[in-house]
Chains A and B, each alone.
Chain A
Amino acid sequence: MANELIEFVLVSVALLAVGIYGLSVKRNAIRMLFAIEIIVNAANLNLIAFARFMPEAHSGGQTFALFSIAIAAAEVAVGLSLIIVAYRLYKNIDIADFRSLKG
């Protein structure tokens, strides 16, 4: 039992690392959004694995994961719409080019 939980948590930590790598290296807005979604999914995996394998945990983790998935979808919808508006204005979605605000 416990070993399986560790496998899930290791995958989740790996996903977190992939997300942080993506955020720090990529400068394309959609890639950065993907990286953030990978972190959210790592957290969801954690929640479901803990709810399944921890004997003392109550099932709140699965509820949490469901809410989290729904909220992440709403967030992505808003984020993509902002990125579409940015593309119309700049013809580009490289955030390194968004530098009119400084100081």
Chain B
Amino acid sequence: MIELTSTPIMLMVILGVAGMAIPVINVIRKERGGSTFYGAIAFAALIISIGFVMYQFYSESIAPAAIFSADVLVDDAFGSFFAIAMLIVSIITVVGSFNYMRNRANPAVYFSLILLSTIGMVLIAFSTDLVMLFIGWELMSIPTYILAGFNKKNPISNEAAIKYFLFGALSSAIIIYGMSLVYGITGSTNIGEIIQGFATLDADLLPIGLLAIGMLIAGFGFKMGLVPFHMWLPDTYEGSPPPITALLAAGTKKAGFAAALRIIILGTVALNLDWTLALGVIAIMTMTVGNIAAIMQKNLVRMLAYSSIGHAGYILIGISIAPFTGLGLQASLFHILNHAVMKGAAFIAVAGIVTALAVTHLDKIKGLGRRMPITALGLVISLLALAGVPPLSGFWSKLMLFGAAIDAGSSLWWAPWLAVAGVLNSALSLAYYGWIIRKMYFEGETEKRIKEPASIIAVMIFSIIFMVTIGVYPEPIIKFAEMASPTLTGVVMP
């Protein structure tokens, strides 16, 4: 049995109590509005959670990245890493929503759903059982369907939510079908036993194993926005309320990677299948399609949505070469954390622009650098970090990813090409990021400065400090990523 004071259980209790209490308080208060009050409760719960994860981590009561556990949950460094990344995203989202939700209906439900979705993401990262993984997946997804359509009088928001819901429900259906096949051929729902079952699989059951892994890649790929499965993503990101876009792009996407790492990668290693080339091809396709489509966009949100598809491709570089070099997985984890903050900050900056000016078209943000200086500065820093400009956090994780790809070249002839594609794509992405920056600073007449939402400023300052600090001094996070990445060599127990 897993202890009651372990990280996942305590996070479930803290976030669950706060998430359930907020609607109850709303009923008791009998007042409308109060977004700051409910937001403050959610913010406090998230801060307590992240403090608890860090305390658990530094008091060294956490196991090193474990793959096997007899329980449904494991309290390990891998889960803690993802939990910290996702809690940071939720904090950014909650704080960024303070001003957005003012004067909008049902703030209590809104913040409660963000907390419940966060529980789902955290549970995915800690789960070592298919049943738990699936429950966490749905607990994460179902609240975000409602959040995407939260502006229910707005047809665009509803359209985004319906598209997101249909693709999301299809992805969970495919995942559970794949999981049923995995259960059928290995006879267990525990991931450790499944990996061993895969390693000793009958040769005539191998096609079913292939089919099951393929279905899981497709199902999780929908949420990660990998290329053949990405069509819902730009529409949903554009139509959803902007802070929720930050949660989707930075949070649920990373949870998809957590789930994929927990099962798919280990499964392919144990099955002795050469899926690395397939994943490498998907990585190159994902980043190229994402970046080329981003160049053609005229809308800031869509441009960032396609750039977020491109970044899924960069993360996948490290995952596809993981069986050959330990550096690959570390680089992916590092980029996952960095991308969570960079993309979260960029979308919250957009949320600030929408809150203050109600525009997202690129031509309408001319002269933003003078009208909303702090928001514009935050957007610029996060865009430069996303492009991988040296003294910022994105540079180090991209360097590690491409370095790992070249490092794997000794055993995989095509791995250096991943690095080449990644560098070319980074250059391509700098073109459209530079275009946004040009629009904001070098075009448009001088207009008067307008009042910027206070909560957006808070998020911007936090993210700028985070990105610059990690850019100047990345060692602690790299160490953390190193501890959090499970070793894939010798995964299969004799």
Contacts and interface: CB of A to CB of B under 8 A. Distances in A.
Interface of A: 9, 12, 16, 19, 23, 29, 32-33, 36-37, 39-40, 42-44, 46-47, 50-51, 54, 56-58, 60-61, 63-64, 67-68, 71, 74-75, 78-79, 81-83, 85-86, 89-90, 95, 98, 100-103
B230 interface: no
Contacts of B174: 39
B282 to A, nearest CB: 21
B173 A39 contact: yes
A99 B359 CA distance: 20
Place the interface of chain B in its size category: 35 or more
Nearest to A83: B162
Given A39-B173, A64-B131, A64-B183, 6 more contacts: A33-B166, A43-B177, A51-B183, A61-B183, A89-B158, A101-B159
Contacts of B165: 78-79, 82
A82 B156 contact: no
A63 B131 contact: yes
Candidate in B145, B160, B161, B184 with the most chain A CB atoms within 10 angstroms: B184
24 contacts: A9-B184, A16-B177, A29-B166, A36-B170, A37-B173, A42-B177, A43-B176, A43-B179, A43-B180, A44-B176, A57-B187, A61-B180, A61-B189, A68-B176, A71-B172, A79-B169, A86-B159, A89-B155, A90-B155, A95-B162, A101-B159, A101-B163, A101-B234, A103-B297
A103 B179 CA distance: 35
A39 B162 CA distance: 19
Contacts of B155: 89-90, 100
A16 B141 CA distance: 22
A40 B184 contact: no
A101 B360 CA distance: 13
Contacts of B225: none
Interface of B: 130-131, 134-135, 138, 141-142, 145-146, 149, 152-153, 155-156, 158-163, 165-166, 169-170, 172-174, 176-177, 179-181, 183-184, 187-190, 234-235, 238-239, 296-299, 302
Contacts of B234: 101, 103
B135 A67 contact: yes
Contacts of A64: 130-131, 134, 179-180, 183, 189
Contacts of B134: 64, 67-68, 71
B169 to A, nearest CB: 5
Contacts of B298: 103
Contacts of A56: 187
Contacts of A71: 134-135, 138, 172
B180 A47 contact: yes
Contacts of A98: 159, 162-163
Given A36-B169, A103-B299, A75 B238 contact: no
Nearest to B143: A78
A26 B135 CA distance: 29
B233 to A, nearest CB: 11
B207 to A, nearest CB: 13
B138 A23 contact: no
Given A40-B176, A64-B130, A101 B184 contact: no
A100 B134 CA distance: 33
B188 A46 contact: no
A74 B165 CA distance: 12
Chain A to chain B: the 7 pairs with minimum beta-carbon distance, closest first: A46-B180, A57-B187, A39-B173, A60-B189, A101-B235, A50-B184, A43-B177
Nearest to A51: B183
Contact of B149 (A16, A85, A95): A85
A53 B152 CA distance: 47
Contact of B173 (A19, A50, A102): A19
Contacts of A51: 183
Nearest to B176: A43
Given A29-B162, A54-B184, A63-B131, A79 B145 contact: yes
B158 A75 contact: no
Contact of A100 (B135, B156, B166): B156
B145 A82 contact: yes
